[in-house]
Amino acid sequence: MRRLLYSAYWVDGADIGSPEVLRRRIAGPILRGRSPSWPLRDSGYAVAVSRGPITVGAWRRIRVWREEWASLGTGTVPTLVVEGGSTSSGEAALRRLEKEILRAGAEADPDLPDPARYPALPVRPSKGWVSEVGGTWSQVWKTGP
């Protein structure tokens, strides 16, 4: 999910604050996930139509993130926070991150599986579950395994 959002915003320039833009990009991973939240589980929506969080857990995470961001004292994105408390922002943060990646011996641009692709389901959902949830899952029963 993080790679999808990162790519959508930083590579494609998509408005990831838009509920419809998000739904088109991440509904698949959300519907395949294990969220106990019915808006996520049933519709694949990650945000409310008002652009706000759709779950209480998400609202709390956003509040904590905003508090932590404000405590850094920088409004520049991206910001890199290094263990020990030092921070760098903007282009300096990206250059520092590249150096840290190379210093760690990690590949700077590793081949990663396409995050938009997913393996086939290992089992078909039960008819009872499909009758409650419906949506795209009902197609599994209509078309067979």
pLDDT: which is higher, 96 or 48: 96
9: DSSP letter: I
Residues 6+ apart with CB under 8 A from 124: 140, 141, 145
Cα 16 to Cα 25, 70, 108, 109, distances in angstroms: 9, 21, 25, 23
Chain segment 57-115, per-residue pLDDT in tens: 888 888 888 887 777 766 666 778 877 777 887 778 888 888 888 888 887 677 766 65
Domain residue ranges of the chain, discontinuous segments joined by +: 1-72
**Which of 14-18, 106-110, 112-116, 134-138 is the most confident on average?**
14-18
Cα 120 to Cα 40, 124, 137, 140, 145, distances in angstroms: 20, 10, 13, 11, 10
